[in-house]
Structure formats: structure tokens, C-alpha cells
């Protein structure tokens, strides 16, 4: 579903991403781990078409965002560290607005409310202004949009940064549910322990390179931590 093929990105003489190749299939979670500046966000932005690769391709369901931006956008949902919502609108109104923007045809009230509920928002919050939502609740509106839109892939850039442990646990449980619906999930994170818990595959990045791609079911948290530290120490 998501396929990075020899993906490279330079900013002038600075190489942000160097020949990165990996795939994320339907029903898989691929977590990108790495120090600040390793190239995680760059990878995500290339799939979104927010920037153009210097070489290589970031394909979404066989579509290249440079060639078929509409086809790519209709398949993806992006959740950044802090999701941008209209604080003056309610959770329901935000979802309705963004669903229409995403070309969901005539999203019914019942469907939108079901999505908010499936994303773990309590019914009494649907009609409250989002300005009064916690950060965890705001991120859930993003998941509700993914559900409404039936997004085939989720791109997440440190989505649980700043969430308390309970909210973070809930959010990761939601991701597992989306995975089980067949969604392909690519997530940049600094949370090694959560990555080990939820990922199908973990990619360890440093200075623009994908140093290791690890089957999450075949590594202990302690071994992953050692591998991470080893890869990062190598960068110094």
C-alpha cells in the first residue's frame, strides 16, 4: 500500500533522506524511530506530496503523489503531532467540515456520530466546542475522519507526543483497531516501547538512512533499545 522506493531528498547540499526503501502493506503498522533530524518527517512528507523527492518514489497504492495527487489524497489521512481543528466548531462540526473537504459524499449525521464514537469520543463531547477538548480528544477527531473517509493508509507524525499515558494507550489501541480493518499505518515516533508493542515492522533511521528494518514480533524491547542506542551512537 505504501512503498518507498530508493527515496532520497536533498535540501541544497544537505541530504535529509538517502536511498530509503521499505513497504507498508494493508493491515500493517510501520514505525519509524530515530533521533531528531533523522528523516522521519521528511519520509512522511514525501508520501503526502508536501515535498518532492530528489530521486526515488513514494508510492501510495501504486500512485505517485507527484503524478496523481488526488488519487493519493483520497487514500490517505495525515495526523501530525497537533491536529489542526477549528476551535470554535464542535467535534461533530469539525468532522462534518473535514469529511466534506475530503470529498466524502453527503456524510450523514448518523455516520459522522458513529465515527466519533468508534474513535473513542464520548457522545456528550460530540456537540462541545473543540477548543475545550484535550489533546487526546483532538487526535481522536483525526481518527474519526480516517474512519469516515475510509482512509486506506494513515500517516502519523509523533501523534502521541504530549499525551498522558492513558490517552496514549487509548490512541495506540485505536491504531490497532484501524490496522485490523486493513489500514496501512506509517508512524514516526520517539516512543520505542509503544513502537515495539504496536508495530509490525520498526525502521531505525539515522541521518537520513534507514539503518535497520526489524520485525517487531521478533525483538524484545531490551534488544530493540540496544539496537537503537547502537545505531544512534554510530551517528556521532
Residue 128: partners with Cβ closer than 8 Å, 6 or more residues away: 90, 91
Shortest distance in whole angstroms from residue 148 CB to ligand ATP: 28
Interface residues for ligand ATP in 89-128 (CB under 6 A)?
A: none
C-alpha to C-alpha distance for 213 and 201, rounded to whole angstroms: 7
C-alpha to C-alpha distance for 183 and 75, rounded to whole angstroms: 10
Q: 3-class SS at 116?
A: helix
> In terms of CB distance, is 95 or 204 closer to ligand ATP?
204
132 binds ligand ATP (CB under 6 A): no
Supply φ then ψ for residue 34, to 5 degrees: 165, 160
- The window from 33-41, 58-66, 89-97, 141-149 that contacts ligand ATP (CB under 6 A) reads 33-41
> In terms of CB distance, is 116 or 205 closer to ligand ATP?
205
166 binds ligand ATP (CB under 6 A): no
> In terms of CB distance, is 42 or 94 closer to ligand ATP?
42
42 binds ligand ATP (CB under 6 A): yes
What does each C-alpha distance from 140 to 37, 105, 135, 170, 180 come to in angstroms? 27, 21, 9, 9, 17
Provide the binding-site residues for ligand ATP, judged by CB under 6 A. Answer: 11, 14, 16, 34, 36-42, 188
Amino acid at each position: 500500500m505504501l512503498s518507498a522506493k530508493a527515496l532520497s531528498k536533498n535540501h541544497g547540499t544537505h541530504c535529509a533522506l538517502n536511498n530509503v526503501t521499505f513497504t507498508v502493506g494493508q493491515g500493517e503498522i510501520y514505525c519509524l524511530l530515530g533521533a531528531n533530524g533523522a528523516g522521519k518527517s521528511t519520509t512522511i512528507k514525501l508520501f503526502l506530496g508536501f515535498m518532492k523527492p530528489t530521486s526515488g518514489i513514494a508510492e501510495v497504492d501504486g500512485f505517485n503523489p507527484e503524478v496523481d495527487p488526488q488519487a493519493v489524497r483520497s487514500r490517505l489521512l495525515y495526523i501530525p503531532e497537533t491536529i489542526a481543528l477549528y476551535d470554535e466548531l464542535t467535534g461533530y462540526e469539525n468532522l462534518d467540515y473535514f469529511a466534506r473537504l475530503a470529498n466524502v459524499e453527503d456524510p450523514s449525521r448518523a455516520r459522522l456520530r458513529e465515527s466519533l464514537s468508534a474513535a473513542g469520543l464520548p457522545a456528550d463531547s460530540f456537540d462541545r466546542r473543540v477548543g475545550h477538548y484535550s489533546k487526546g480528544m483532538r487526535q481522536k477527531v483525526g481518527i474519526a475522519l480516517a474512519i469516515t473517509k475510509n482512509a486506506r493508509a494513515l500517516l502519523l507524525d509523533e501523534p502521541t507526543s504530549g499525551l498522558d499515558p492513558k490517552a496514549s494507550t487509548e490512541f495506540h489501541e485505536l491504531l490497532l483497531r484501524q490496522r485490523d480493518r486493513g489500514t496501512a499505518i506509517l508512524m514516526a515516533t520517539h516512543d520505542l516501547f509503544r513502537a515495539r508493542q504496536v508495530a509490525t515492522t520498526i525502521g531505525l533511521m539515522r541521518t537520513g538512512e534507514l539503518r535497520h528494518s526489524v520485525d517487531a514480533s521478533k525483538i524484545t524491547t531490551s534488544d530493540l533499545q540496544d539496537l537503537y542506542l547502537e545505531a544512534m551512537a554510530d551517528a556521532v
